[in-house]
Amino acid sequence: GLEVSDRIELGIRGSEEIESAANEHRDYIAGETLAVDVQIGGEGDGGSGEWRDSELDGHPVRIGLSRAR
């Protein structure tokens, strides 16, 4: 598992609206999650360790994370 202080790599995939909002707030998301990298959409395999499907304001979103290398 992860420790609270672990750095992570984060991936976010969703609708154009979700990905646009995530991109606009990328630095905030990274700071709040201790992510060293936030990959949005098809930008590679960020968060390749574990992926979960969820919903945000009625929009499907897929979030992945892994411990930073």
Tens of pLDDT, residue by residue, the chain (69 residues): 888 889 999 999 999 999 999 999 999 999 999 999 999 997 555 556 789 999 999 999 999 999 998
Q: Regarding beta strands 8-14 and 35-40, do their DSSP bridges make them parallel or antiparallel, or are they unpaired? A: parallel
How open is the CA angle 34-57-67, to the nearest 5 degrees?
A: 20
Helices and strands in the chain: count of H runs, count of E runs? 2, 4
The pLDDT value recorded for residue 39 is: 93
The pLDDT value recorded for residue 47 is: 53
Q: How far apart are CA 10 and CA 30, in angstroms?
A: 8
The pLDDT value recorded for residue 3 is: 87
The pLDDT value recorded for residue 38 is: 95
pTM of the model: 0.84
Token digits of residue 68: 């930073």
Residue 16: what residue type?
E
